[in-house]
Amino acid sequence: MAQIFHRSLNTVARASIFGAVLAVILATIIAYGIQTSPYATQAGVFRDQPVPFSHEHHVTGLGIDCRYCHTSVTQSPFAGLPPTKVCMTCHSQLWTNASLLSPVRQSWQTDTPIQWTRVNSLPGYVYFNHSIHVAKGVGCATCHGRVDKMPLTYQAQSLQMRWCLDCHRNPEPNLRPREEIFNMNYQPPPDQEKLGHELAERYHLRDTQSLTNCSTCHR
């Protein structure tokens, strides 16, 4: 029987198959890199705000507690944004003519809320409750990073499902005593493994199966 294709084409065929497999692997790696990059997650990206609010100045410089502005964080699914009257508690007396605070004064005079740009945003199909995480011993900095060191606020974590599940599967490394939730300078002790285990027992977090149930976050 006559040979239709030259033997050298066998090498070409093998190279083509290898190249196709390599192309699929490279495409997967590139897609994964894009999906986990700040381009997709927005982690580390500063957002323009109507007022350049500095957490570093207000928290570290002035010692203002998180709950002074985010009043509903311990009782509500939402941390809450401070109404303009909270800002004016101080700024009716301090920096009253500062140009960068003109949106605050205008908001106060017109009784119109300031339109802040959301920094930490989850999809609409994700249910998240701040008060539950606070009650279970998860500190602000665990998810939001060291906001006390942020002159301008940015999203510290990817907030992707994989990141959430890593904690839900093993919450113990991220647990701290409830009295330390709002302490930005808190450092895990050398025996965090032991402490985390004790806190997981105390805060009823040993059942990680329920924490990873789809309905926990998707309702």
**204: domain range?**
55-81+116-217
Is 103 part of a structural domain of the chain? no
Is 32 part of a structural domain of the chain? no
Is 87 part of a structural domain of the chain? no
Is 26 part of a structural domain of the chain? no
- What total number of domains does the chain contain? 1
This prediction's pTM: 0.83
- Give percent above pLDDT 90 in the chain: 79
Is 123 part of a structural domain of the chain? yes
Is 204 part of a structural domain of the chain? yes
* Residue pair 51/101 in contact by the 8 Å Cβ criterion: yes
For the segment 71-80, what is each residue's pLDDT rounded down to a tens digit? Answer: 999 999 999 9
For the segment 175-198, what is each residue's pLDDT rounded down to a tens digit? Answer: 999 999 999 999 999 999 999 999
Numbers of helices and strands, H then E, in the chain: 12, 0
DSSP string across 169-196: H--GGGB--GGGTT-TT----TTHHHHH
Is 111 part of a structural domain of the chain? no
Is 97 part of a structural domain of the chain? no
